Amino acid sequence: MSSEAADVVRLLKVSGETVAVAESLTGGLVAAQLTSVPGASKVFRGSVTAYATELKHELLGVDAAVLAARGAVDPQVAAEMAAGVRKALGADWGVATTGVAGPDPQDGQAVGTVFVAVHGPDGAATGSAPGGKVEALRLNGDRAEIRRESVRSVLALLLRELAGEQTGNERAQDTEQNGGF
């Protein structure tokens, strides 16, 4: 169990929210990290491991035209995977991983090219899409190291978004109390 996973579960419990996971290159490792935390059943809705490109469209609703034009290793694909799993599994938050762990390049992308995404309650997170955020990673190492770092990175992104949601709410209240400044 990672400290990121434990912190995610703790923050979700506090806020009464849930998370769902869509994974490609990590093959279920994000879900495994989250479910290794005692009490995760209160916040973890489930996961979809859509390793095959067509499953990203069929199960997660990723735009088939985007997949055809850009391939599966793309920031928009990551964003749509996170939004799709959130909707499909009825969670407050969706997270996604897509990328190239190696040993060979894929879809014209080099080994170590990874996109992680978080999609939260509408307006709660900032970034590339309403309610969503995507980060591009360029990772070094072997296949196992790239997959491990992808898991850590998506959980860290979710943690920042969860903390930002709480900070944003507190900041809004402070602004009202301080006359708008």
What pLDDT, in 10s, does the model give residues 83-94?
Answer: 999 999 999 999
Mean pLDDT for the chain?
A: 89
Query: Any idea where the domains of the chain sit in the sequence?
Result: 3-172
89, 126 contact by CB (below 8 A): no
Predicted TM-score (pTM) of this structure: 0.88
Is 3-172 assigned to CATH 3.90.950.20? yes
Spatial contact of 110 and 117, defined as CB atoms under 8 Å apart: no
Helix (H, G, I), strand (E, B) or coil at 96: strand
Q: Using 50, 70 and 90 to split pLDDT, how confident is the model at 2?
A: confident
Q: Which amino acid, 178? A: N
pLDDT for the residue numbered 22: 98
pLDDT digits (tens, 9 = 90+) for 55-69: 999 999 999 999 999
Q: Is the pLDDT of residue 79 over 60?
A: yes
